[in-house]
Amino acid sequence: MSEIPRSNPYLNEAIEGLNEHYLRHRGNTAEAWASLSGEALSFIDEELLHCVSDPRYYLENYHVVKTEQEGLKTLFPFWESQEIFYYEVISIMHAGRPVRVMCLKARQQGLSTVSEGLVFWKTIFTPVSNTLIIAQDGQQSAFLFDMARTAYDCLPWWMQPEKRYEQAGKLLQFDRVDEMARQYMPGLKSNIYVEAANKMTGAARGKTIKAMHASELASWDDGGQLTKAIFPTMNSDDTLAIMESTAEGRSGFWYTFWRDTINGKTDWHPVFIEFFRVKKYSRPLKVGEEFIRTKDEEAFVDRVKTEKNVEITDETLNWMRKKKLEFISTEGDEFSFYGEYPSNWMEAFQGSGLCAFPKRRLQKIMESEVCPPLLVGDITFDLDDQKIKFSSKDGGFLRSVEPGELLQQPEEEELFRVWEEPDHDEDYYVAVDVAMGNEGGDYSCVEVIKIGRGLTPDEQVAEWRGWINPVPLAYVAVAIARWYNFAEIAVEVNAVGVTTNNEIQRVIEYDNIYRWKHIDKIGNTMTAHTGWYTNYKSRQMIIAKMVEAMLSRTIVIRSEWLVDEMMDFAQDEEGGKFQGQDANDDRVMAFMICRYCAHESDTGKRAAARPMSSKIGTSKKWYVMDASNRKIAETDDREKALLLVREHKGFSVVQAPEDRDFHNTLYSPIHNGNGIRSRMYYEMGYSAESINHETVTEVESAEAEPEPTDPNAWLWY
C-alpha cells in the first residue's frame, strides 16, 4: 500500500515505517499503539487532524479506489470534472449550510467516485454518523459497497476505525467489538447502509442520516422513496447529501425534480458538468492530418469560449465527430450522443415522441445561437403617468448580466430577459400567451422579435415569463411594446386571453393591436376581431411556419429556455396534438404566434418590405429618444448622447429617428377613449384625419415645460 501515488509523496515512507512497526507486533493493534514513539504519535495526530479538517487531503492521500488502467490509487490528481464538483460541495460546507447537492452529469466523469469518497470521509471521521448509499439496482449497489470496502481495507492500520460488524453488500458498522470496552470507551458508532432502489429494505428508516449518496436516479422506478423514506431522516445541520445521475429522457421524477431545483423550488443545489470537462474525451489527429472545422463547430467552440472560458480543441471535435457517427450507425441519428455527452443540461434530457420541430436544427441552434441575455429585471406600464417602469433586484433599470452568471428560469423576480435593446431604426413585434396566473400553474409569456428585412432573418430580442393575472399582464405587454418602438401586439385570446386583450385595447387604449384574419378564406380578409385565436387549423399553421423558418434559417433564437421547450414540444404516442410533454409550452406558443403574426399582419409586411436605412452610419447627428419614442435631444457627440441615456433609464440613442403612425383596429382612441387624441378632436378642434403620431407629439411637447432659452443647449425634455 505504501507505493500508492499520493499528493504528498513523503507519506509513503512514513506509512511504510508504521506498517513495519505493525507487522513486528504480528498485527496486534493494541500492542502496536502502545509501543509507538512520541514522534510517530505526533505524526499520526497531525495526519488525522489534517484529514478531518480537509476532505481533499484525505481523498488525494488516503482514499483508495480500483481503476481499470492504474490499479489501486487515490483520487490524486482530481479530474477537472471532479474539481468543479468538489468546489461546489466544499463551498456549501464552508458556508456552514447542510450540503444537498443534485448533480446532472455526462458519462464517466468520476463523480460517483468522488461522491463515495466524500460520504466515506464523513462516516469515518464523524462519530455517530449514519451513511446511506443507494444505487439503481442490486448489481450497482454491490459495486458501490465494494468501493467502500476497498477504501476501508486500504486505509493505514492506524487510521482504520474498528469494525464491529459487516453484512456483505449491505452494511459496514464501525464500533468497538468488545462489549465491555463499548461501555467505558465507545467506538465510532457509525454505519454505512447500502441499498438498491428497486428493492429498498428500509434499513435506514427511523435513523438520522448524516451522509447520503444516491446514484443514477434517472433509472429509479419510484422517486417517491426519497420524500417518503429518505429525506425525512436528513435533519442534521451537518448533512452531506449527494444525488447524481445522467439524464435519460424528458420524463420521470428525475427530470421534474431537476427542473424544480434549477428553478429554485427545492432546497437542493443544482450542479451540471459538461462532457468537455473530461480530458479523455478527445481523439488524436493522425500525423499530417488536416482538421477543418465546420461552421457549426466554429460556432460551438466560440460559444463555449465565451460562456465557459474553455478552449475546445480539434482533438475534442474529432472525438465528437467519431462518437456521433457511432450513434448514427447504431441508432439512426446522433441525438442520443447529446443525452450521453451533453454540453448543457437542456440537451442532456432528450425528449421522446415525434418532435414538432427538426431536432437536428434545434441542436445546432442550442450550440451556436442561444446566449445569455444582456439585461434582466422586470417591466410594466404606469397608466396614470403614461410611463414605462423598469425594475431589477439591484434597483432602478434592468441590470446587466455578469459573464458566466447562471440564470435560473424566471420565477418571482427578473422575469424580463433582454438580448437586444430597442433600436429606433428597427421594427419589432410582440406576442402574448396568457395563463390564469395561479402560482404553480401555467405561466404567461411575452415574446419579442426584431422583424428582418430582405435576407436578414428575424431575431428574438426579449422574453418575459412569469405567474401573473391576465389584467396586470396587459400592462407588462404594453410596456414592452411601447419600449420596442410601439410594436404591434398579438394576444392569444383563447379563454382568459380575452381579458388581457380588452385591458390593452379599452383601458390602456393601446391601439396597435393585431386584427384577426380569416386564414382559411379567399383574400385572407381582416375581421372585426382583435387578437390571435388558436384552433386546430391555426395551430398547425403556425407550427408549419416555424419549422419553415428554422430550416430556411430565417429566424434567430436566443433563449435557451425557449429551445428547451421546443425540444419537448412533441406529439404523444397516441398521436394527439403537439404540445409540451410533461413540461410547459407557453414560450413556444407565444414565439410561434409572434413569428407568424409579424409577417402575416399588415404592419409586419410593411416592416419586412422596408429597405435597410441608408441613414445609419452616415448621419452626423445622434438623437436621444425617451421611453415613449419621442425625440428628447440631438447632438454631434455620440458619447454625450450615451451619457444622457445612462442617466435616464428607458432612453435610447439612434441616428435616424422616424415617426410612426399605428391605427389598424375598429376601436378608436379618438372617439372611444379619453386620452390626448380624444382631447385633440373634441377640445382643440383637430380633424380626425390630422390626428397622427406627428401631431400628437407636437401637442404633447407644447403642453410640456418650455424649451431652454440657452441657444447652446441641446436638451429640451
Q: Do 525 and 630 fall into the same domain?
A: no
- Interatomic CA distance for residues 370 and 557, integer angstroms: 6
Q: What is the DSSP letter of 504?
A: I
Would you state the cell numbers that stand for residue 418, as one nine-digit string?
A: 433582454
Residue 361 near residue 551, CB atoms below 8 Å: yes
Q: What are phi and psi of 419, to 5 degrees?
A: -95, -25
Comparing CA positions, the residue from 349, 326, 400, 388 lying closest to residue 560 is 349
For residue 676, the model assigns a pLDDT of: 80
Check pLDDT > 60 for residue 658.
no
Does residue 261 fall inside a structural domain? yes
Question: What pLDDT was estimated at residue 516?
Answer: 83
Q: What are the cell numbers at 671?
A: 372617439
Q: Select from 351, 375, 398 the last residue of a domain.
A: 351
C-alpha closest to that of 204 among 237, 226, 179, 174: 226
| 678: three-class secondary structure by DSSP | helix
Residue that finishes a domain, picked among 574, 609, 644: 609
Last residue of a domain, one of 578, 609, 640: 609
Residues 223, 301 within the same domain? no
Query: What is the per-residue pLDDT for 353?
Result: 63
If asked whether residues 642 and 695 sit together in one domain, one would say: yes
In a domain, 680, yes or no: yes
DSSP secondary structure letter of residue 667 = -
Quote the radius of gyration of the chain (alpha carbons, Å).
32
- Whether residue 451 is found in the same domain as residue 559: yes
The DSSP code for 462 is E
| Burial of 541 (C-beta count, 10 Å sphere; 0-12/13-18/19+) | middle
Task: Give the pLDDT confidence of 405-432 residue by residue, as tens digits.
Answer: 767 666 567 899 999 999 988 999 999 9
pLDDT greater at residue 666 or residue 372: 372
pLDDT tens-digit map of 458-477: 999 999 999 899 999 999 99
pLDDT tens digit string along 323-367?
A: 999 989 988 888 888 888 999 888 888 766 678 888 888 988 988
Q: How many domains does the chain have?
A: 4
Quick one: pLDDT at residue 586?
Answer: 93
Give, for 479, the enclosing helix (H) or strand (E): helix 470-483
Q: Under 8 Å CB-to-CB from 325, ≥6 apart: which residues?
A: 334
**CA-to-CA distance for 172 and 176, rounded, in angstroms?**
13
| Run of H or E including 23 | helix 11-24
* In-domain check, residue 188: yes
Query: 554 lies in a domain?
Result: yes
Is the domain of 250 the same as that of 163?
yes
Question: Is 358 in contact with 574 (CB distance < 8 Å)?
Answer: no
Question: How many other C-beta atoms are found inside a 10 Å radius of the C-beta of residue 455?
Answer: 6
Is the pLDDT confidence value at 82 over 50? Answer: yes
Q: Does an H or E element contain 302, and which?
A: helix 295-308
Q: Which grid coordinates are listed for 171?
A: 452494511
The pLDDT value recorded for residue 201 is 76
* Cα 500 from Cα 492, distance rounded (Å): 9
CATH number reported for the structural domain that contains residue 449 in this entry: 3.30.420.240
Are residues 652 and 572 part of one domain? Answer: no
pLDDT score, position 225? 82
Please choose, from the candidates 119, 351, 139, the residue with its C-alpha nearest in 3D space to the C-alpha of residue 244: 119
**pTM (whole model) above 0.85:** no
More confident residue, 528 or 617: 528
Instruction: Check whether 514 has a pLDDT greater than 60.
Output: yes
Q: What is the pLDDT of residue 628?
A: 60
Assess if residue 598 is contained within a domain: yes
Helix (H) or strand (E) holding 652: strand 652-654
All cell numbers assigned to 529: 376581431
Confidence at residue 654, expressed as pLDDT on a 0 to 100 scale? 67
Are residues 214 and 122 both part of a single domain? yes
Residue 367 lies in a domain: no
CATH of the domain at 149: 3.40.50.300
Provide CB contacts within 8 A for 348, sequence distance 6+.
104, 106, 246, 247, 272, 338, 339, 342
Confidence of residue 668 (pLDDT cuts 50, 70, 90): low
Collapsing DSSP states into helix, strand and coil, what is residue 685? coil
Domain match, 669 and 531 both: no
Q: What is the mean pLDDT of residues 619-636?
A: 69
Please provide the distance, in angstroms rounded to a whole number, between the alpha carbons at the two ends of the chain: 80
Same domain, 594 and 649: no
> Closest Cα to residue 679, out of 443, 509, 543?
509
Residues 6+ apart with CB under 8 A from 285: 291, 314, 315, 318
Half-sphere exposure of 173 (CA within 13 A, CB side): 12
How far, in Å, CA of 288 to CA of 293, rounded? 16
Domain assignment present for 356: no
631 and 600 assigned to the same domain? no
- Statement: residue 176 has pLDDT above 70: yes
Same domain assignment for residues 181 and 231 = yes
Q: What is the 3-state secondary structure (H, E, C) of 219-279?
A: HCCCCHHHHHHHHHHCCCCCCEEEEEECCCCCCCHHHHHHHHHHCCCCCCEEEEECHHHCC
Q: What is the rounded CA–CA span in Å between residue 534 and residue 36? A: 83
Mean pLDDT over the full length of the chain = 85
Residue 663 pLDDT exceeds 60: no
Spacing of C-alpha 548 from chain mean position: 27
Of the ranges 198-207, 297-306, 625-634, which one carries the lowest mean pLDDT score? Answer: 625-634
Instruction: Report d(CA 118, CA 345) in Å as an integer.
Output: 24
Portion of the chain with pLDDT greater than 90, in percent = 53
Cell of 595: 413569428
Identify whether residues 432 and 576 lie together within a single domain.
yes
pLDDT for 582 beyond 70: no
Question: What's the domain range around 647?
Answer: 622-703
Whether 22 is in a domain gets the answer no
